Amino acid sequence: MDNAWAPRLGFSWDVNGDSSLKVFGNLGRYYLGLPLSAVSLFTPATTTDTYFTYSGINPDGTPVLAQQLGSAVSANSRFGRIADVRTAVAKDIEGENQDELILGVTKQLDSGWVLGVRGTHRRLNAGIDDQNYDVSNTALIDAAAAQGVTIDFSKVAGASLINPGQTNTWGVIGTDGQFHEVSVSREAAGFPKFKRNYSAVEFNLERPFDGQWYAKVNYVWSHSYGTTEGQVRSDLWRTGGALGSYQGQASVSTTQSWDHPALMEHFNGDQSNDHRHQLKLFGFYQFTPQWGASANFSLISGAPHNCLGNYYGTEYSGRDPAGYGGSAITGGPYHYCYNPETGTGVASPPGSQGRLGWIAQLDMGVTYKPSFADGKLALRFDVFNITNEQTATNIYPFSQLPDNTTNPLWNQVVAYQAPRSGRVTLSYDF
């Protein structure tokens, strides 16, 4: 990754010279580091899943596995083979980076309160993710064949890190035993343009602490949209023996999104981390030098609700061109929502199924600082989600099983906001 320049330019203008009115702004480029977990793509590790039918529990607590459902499967073909490291990363790959523009103004009111408004826009320029490096990658196979090269898939990584939505140059080991470089354009690969935009307007009203009390009100309108959420995916929940066991897509820069172009059909839209409205209120009151109390309230609009199913497009054959619907539990991860009345799937872009409910939460706390410790010793008790709200924060998105029937788990809640809890903290400032 050469020439990763990250210029930044900022300004701040004290209009009246007394800090009563300030205008500020910042324009910059920021790079995100690639985690070491991505290195696992070209390590000789074995990671497989084997599925069985289940009919009960043995007296010793082990499951009764009546019948194995097919052979073992592995994401990114990780069956312990040693791959040539030159095949694991595209040549001259660009680091993940985004441009950010911030403009804002703060005004101190006659009452002592401070009013602030800030606008933010972020544009993701390039990302890093992995793409399947196997027989499903027909664009790479065709491009190699045009150069007279037949790929030996036993010598390459099961997946390769690329810049999604761009032209990538792959390292290829041919059946002749030689190393070759093969370029595949975005159009030839069948991928959409790589895009994520985030726009937000933030309003703040703050009362500075005067020795007795402090308060702040914050409201943010924001919109995150495009063909990628970022380095991870927050919408994919899979069962790992129990409904709601989260298996990942938290693997940074190795999500399934860009593994196969069929997975990216109808992917453009409001991304899963898009919460359009966020209202937050915070304050604390100092009753005496020893006793103080605080409260925090938040109200956040729900994320988009996705519906995924088997593949019903026309560009690729079969209901599972990426080979990811083999699990008898989840079914296909394509943006086609299964309709049992018609027995087919319809295009289902992100957010087309509506949104989850608003998330409200009230947290409160009390702090005691004994006078004998000169304010350095503090005992604090906090209660989170004091009203014990139980709003759903994620819903099972897979609507269809591999046998083209309705998934009974679809639309089931798999995650709620954290229940009411308490925390006791003892601290000492040296």
pLDDT digits (tens, 9 = 90+) for 277-290: 999 999 999 999 99
- The residue written with tokens 């073909």 in the block is 77
Q: Which of 337, 334, 228, 231 is nearest to 274 (CA)?
A: 228
The Cα-based distances of 177 to 143, 149, 153, 171, 173 in angstroms read 18, 10, 11, 13, 6
Does position 206 have pLDDT exceeding 60, yes or no? yes
Q: In this structure, are residues 220 and 278 in contact, taking their beta carbons and an 8 Å threshold?
A: yes
Tokens of 63: 């499951």
Confidence of residue 40 (pLDDT cuts 50, 70, 90): low
Residue 373 has phi, psi (to 5 degrees) of -100, 10
Tokens of 201: 């307007």
3-state DSSP call for residue 186? Answer: helix
Q: What percent of the chain has pLDDT over 70?
A: 90
Does position 247 have pLDDT exceeding 60, yes or no? no
Q: How many CB atoms lie within 10 A of CB 121?
A: 15
Confidence of residue 113 (pLDDT cuts 50, 70, 90): very high
Tokens of 187: 């159009």
Residue 298 has phi, psi (to 5 degrees) of -135, 145
3-state DSSP call for residue 7? Answer: coil
CA distance 38 to 231: 11
pLDDT at residue number 231: 83
- Give tens-digit pLDDT for 337-394: 999 999 999 999 998 899 999 999 999 999 999 999 888 999 999 999 999 999 999 8
Amino acid, single-letter form, for residue 226: G
- Give tens-digit pLDDT for 71-92: 776 666 666 666 788 888 899 9
Does position 409 have pLDDT exceeding 80, yes or no? yes
Confidence of residue 314 (pLDDT cuts 50, 70, 90): very high
CA distance 48 to 46: 6
Tokens of 111: 């009452």
| pTM of the model as a whole | 0.84
- Region 215-231: mean pLDDT is 95
**HEC profile for 324-344?**
CCCCCCCCCCECEEEECCCCE
Q: Which helix (H) or strand (E) holds 323?
A: none
Tokens of 316: 């690729």
Q: In this structure, are residues 121 and 57 in contact, taking their beta carbons and an 8 Å threshold?
A: no
pLDDT at residue number 143: 96
Confidence of residue 307 (pLDDT cuts 50, 70, 90): very high
- Region 130-158: mean pLDDT is 91
CA distance 180 to 163: 19
